[in-house]
Amino acid sequence: MSFELPQLPYAMDALEPHISKETLEFHYGKHHKTYVDKLNGLVPGSEYEGKSLEDIIKSAPAGGVFNNAAQVWNHTFYWNCLSPNGGGEPTGAIADAIKSKWGSFEEFQKEFNDKAVNNFGSSWTWLVKNDDFSLEIVNTSNAGNPMTSGQRPVMTCDLWEHAYYIDYRNVRPNYLGGFWSLVNWDFINESFAV
């Protein structure tokens, strides 16, 4: 069984003007695809053959297999966190949970932005659900994924330079403005319900 590059849930130009077709051509078409290809070169004949991405992430030590499996999963999750019809304030259960934890969506967004802007280097910022169903904003570096700490990802923002450099150069706060215009609250609610 080999891993496949999943289809994007929208057209390559659907996230414009916030994320350009050119960014998706590189980010999805080259970076994400390379992680899939590398993983398919590492897994056959190993103890990870036949395992799901989540199983690999939870069991593999830091290194090539983990990095590529996590990056395939992280990127697939990230694409689903975005929608051309997204943005605005959250609705449903996630809206209630955010308000309960942070008092308002604006306070949640402020903390998320602060952690994302100050997350050093190639990284990810996540909204996660803990075992007690509480929410938390966490940062990971490189291919890090909160599942390795027993947390369930609910939403993520990719902070590797290839996620934003074509459109926003080195100005992460502007990229985050575009990110919030695309957040897919329907998918976030589905992730929160798991």
Residues annotated within the binding site for Mn(2+) are 27, 75, 158, 162
How many separate helices (H) and strands (E) can be counted in the chain? 9, 3
Interatomic CA distance for residues 93 and 114, integer angstroms: 24
Interatomic CA distance for residues 47 and 70, integer angstroms: 16
For 119, phi and psi rounded to 5 degrees? -75, 110
Interatomic CA distance for residues 53 and 72, integer angstroms: 8
Q: Give the burial class of 63: count Cβ atoms within 10 A of its Cβ; 0-12 exposed, 13-18 middle, 19 or more buried.
A: exposed
Bind-site residues: 27, 75, 158, 162
